Amino acid sequence: MSEEKKRSISEQADDIRRELDELIGADETPIIDIVAKDPILPSVRNRAPISFNEMKTGASAKAKKTINALMKFYLDADIIEKDEYIVAKREIDEMTMSSLVYQLQAGEAALTRLLETIDDGELAPRMFEVLATLQKSMLDIIKSQTMYLMATEESAKRIARDIEMYRKNVDKQEIISSGGSTDNGNIQRGTKDLMRLIRKASQEEEIEDTESENLDLELNED
C-alpha cells in the first residue's frame, strides 16, 4: 500500500513538472511583441537614446559664442583678450550661460519624453502633475537665462563707460604734463597741436581779409 502511495505521489510530481514545462515553453513569443500587438496595452515606441555629453558640448559652444559676441559689441578686442579681469569675467559668464543652456535643453528632452509617455497611454494623475511642474521649471530657466544675459550686457556697458572715462582722464593728465590746455572742453595734445591750430586760424583770417579787400575793390570800380 505504501509503495503504491509513493508511486502515486511520484507520478503526480512528474505530471506537475510536465505541465510547468508545457506552460513555460508553450509560447516563446517575446513579451515586447505581445505588448506591441495587444490593443489594450499602451504602444511601445522605439526611442533614440539621448547623448547628454553632446548636449553639454553644444551648450558650451553656444554660450561661448553668445558671450563673445556680446563683449565684442561693447569692448575692444585687445581689452577682451589681454585684460585679466575681462578674461576671468568672460570665463565665468560663459560657464554660467552654458549651465543655463544645458538645463534648458535637458528640460526640453525630459518634457518631450514625458509627453510621449502620456501619449502612449500612461494617464495616471501623477504624470500630469509632473508635467505641470516640469513646464513651470522650464519657464523659470528661460527667465533666468534672459535676466542673466541682460545683466551681462549691462555689465559690459558699464565696463565700456569706465574704460572711456579712464582714457579721458589719462589724456588730460598727459596734456597737462606736456603743457597743453583742456579749457572749454577742447583737448589739445601739447604745444604742437596748439601751434597747428593757431596757424590754421591765421590762414583762415588771411583768406577772409583777402576776400574782403577784393570785394571792396570791385565796389569802388563800379
Task: Give the highest mean pLDDT range of 24-28, 107-111, 185-189, 194-198.
Answer: 107-111
Mean pLDDT of 153-167: 88
Across 39-48, 54-63, 89-98, 107-116, least confident range: 39-48
pLDDT for the residue numbered 121: 86
Residue 187, pLDDT score: 46
| Confidence band, pLDDT 50/70/90 cuts, at residue 191 | very low
Mean pLDDT value across residues 189-201: 51
How do residues 73-92 score in pLDDT, each as one tens digit?
999 888 888 889 899 999 99
The pLDDT, as a whole number, for residue 18 is 72
Q: What percent of the chain has pLDDT above 90? A: 38
Quick one: cell of 87? 578674461
Mean pLDDT, the chain, rounded, equals: 76
Whole-model pTM?
Answer: 0.58
pLDDT at 111: 93
Assess whether pLDDT exceeds 50 at residue 1: no
pLDDT of residue 194: 46
Q: What length is written for the chain?
A: 222
